[in-house]
């Protein structure tokens, strides 16, 4: 891996897949797989910060995940709160800028309060920008942006003829983030699963057989190595 700044992807996004499969292979509950996945996430944030990745966004819970068994959904709803309580000080002390993207209407008031508090507490941090996509869906994000644009046009806040890709992007959840350079998906699933559909338009895609709880520094190094070998043309020659 070339650690030269201009050779590293600026923004890495990860679909953290395989917690349930990892647990099943060991005769454990899916919830224990999710717990192990949280530790992998913390290690990944630290390593990204160490090697100079500026932005890391991870897919933690999708708008479609509500259809999973109630016991698993209930546990997944508790994970962000546990994550914030356990690693809040670590993120604050190590310059991690934290934010959450996705719908907020289905989340409990206590969790929303803790999310907002940490977002405010870390808003001046810039060692690494860590974004948690929770109750997030790419299509839902785009529809939500279109609705906001329609309202602003109706209220004469913007003119329809001024709408272009750059203006549209400012209505997305990720308006303060750069486009994704490298998208990684674990657990040998070769699909995007409605994640950051606009933001990955010209991302390099990397799929690995490694289950998320087993994802280590060497696995991220392999993904970055592959990224550095590719010729990004953005539709040109």
Domain presence at residue 173 = no
Domain presence at residue 129 = yes
Q: Has residue 237 got a pLDDT over 60?
A: no
pLDDT per position as a tens digit, 2-51: 877 678 999 999 999 999 999 999 999 988 999 999 999 999 999 999 99
Domain presence at residue 34 = yes
Quickly list DSSP for 208-229. -SS-GGG--HHHHHHHHHHHHH
Please report the beta strands in 11-167, taking only residues with DSSP state E, as ranges in sequence order: 11-15, 55-62, 96-101, 128-136
Three-state DSSP string of 85-99: HHHHHHHHHCCEEEE
How many structural domains comprise the chain? 1
53 burial via Cβ count (<10 Å: 0-12, 13-18, 19+): buried
Q: Which residues pair with 184 in a beta bridge?
A: 14, 206
Domain presence at residue 28 = yes
pLDDT per position as a tens digit, 41-97: 999 999 999 999 999 999 998 888 888 888 888 877 888 888 888 889 999 999 999
**65 noted as active-site residue:** yes
Catalytic residue among 17, 135, 181, 219: 17
Phi-psi region at 205: left, alpha or beta (left = phi > 0; alpha = psi -120 to 50): beta
Catalytic residue among 65, 94, 125, 127: 65
Report the CATH number that the domain containing residue 90 is assigned in CATH.
3.40.1180.10
* Residue 59: per-residue pLDDT: 95
Domain presence at residue 78 = yes
Domain presence at residue 237 = no
Phi-psi region at 95: left, alpha or beta (left = phi > 0; alpha = psi -120 to 50): left
For residue 237, give the 3-state DSSP assignment: coil
Q: Are 6 and 50 in contact (CB under 8 A)?
A: no
Domain presence at residue 13 = yes
Instruction: Give the range of the structural domain holding residue 57, as residue numbers without chain letter.
Output: 5-140+180-228
Q: Are 115 and 135 in contact (CB under 8 A)?
A: no
**219 noted as active-site residue:** no
Banded pLDDT at 193 (limits 50, 70, 90): very high
pLDDT per position as a tens digit, 114-167: 999 999 999 999 999 999 999 999 999 999 999 999 999 999 999 999 999 999
């Amino acid at each position: 891996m070339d650690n030269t700044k201009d050779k590293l992807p600026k923004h890495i996004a990860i679909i953290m897949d395989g917690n349930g499969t990892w647990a099943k292979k060991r005769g454990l509950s899916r919830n224990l797989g999710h717990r192990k996945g949280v530790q992998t996430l913390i290690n990944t944030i630290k390593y990204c910060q160490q090697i100079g990745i500026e932005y890391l966004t991870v897919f933690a819970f999708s708008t479609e995940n509500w259809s999973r068994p109630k016991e698993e959904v209930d546990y997944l709803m508790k994970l962000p709160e546990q994550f914030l309580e356990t690693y809040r000080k670590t993120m604050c002390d190590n310059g991690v800028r934290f934010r959450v993207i996705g719908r907020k209407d289905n989340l409990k008031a206590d969790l929303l309060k803790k999310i907002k508090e940490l977002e405010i507490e870390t808003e001046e941090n810039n060692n690494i920008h860590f974004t948690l996509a929770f109750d997030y869906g790419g299509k839902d994000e785009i529809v939500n942006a279109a609705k906001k644009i329609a309202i602003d046009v109706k209220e004469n806040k913007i003119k329809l003829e001024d709408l272009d890709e750059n203006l549209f992007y400012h209505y997305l959840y990720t308006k303060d983030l750069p486009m994704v350079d490298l998208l990684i998906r674990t657990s040998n699933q070769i699909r995007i699963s409605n994640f950051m559909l606009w933001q990955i338009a010209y991302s390099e895609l990397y799929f690995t057989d490694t289950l998320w709880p087993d994802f280590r520094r060497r696995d991220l190094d392999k993904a970055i190595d592959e990224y550095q070998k590719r010729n990004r043309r953005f539709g040109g020659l």
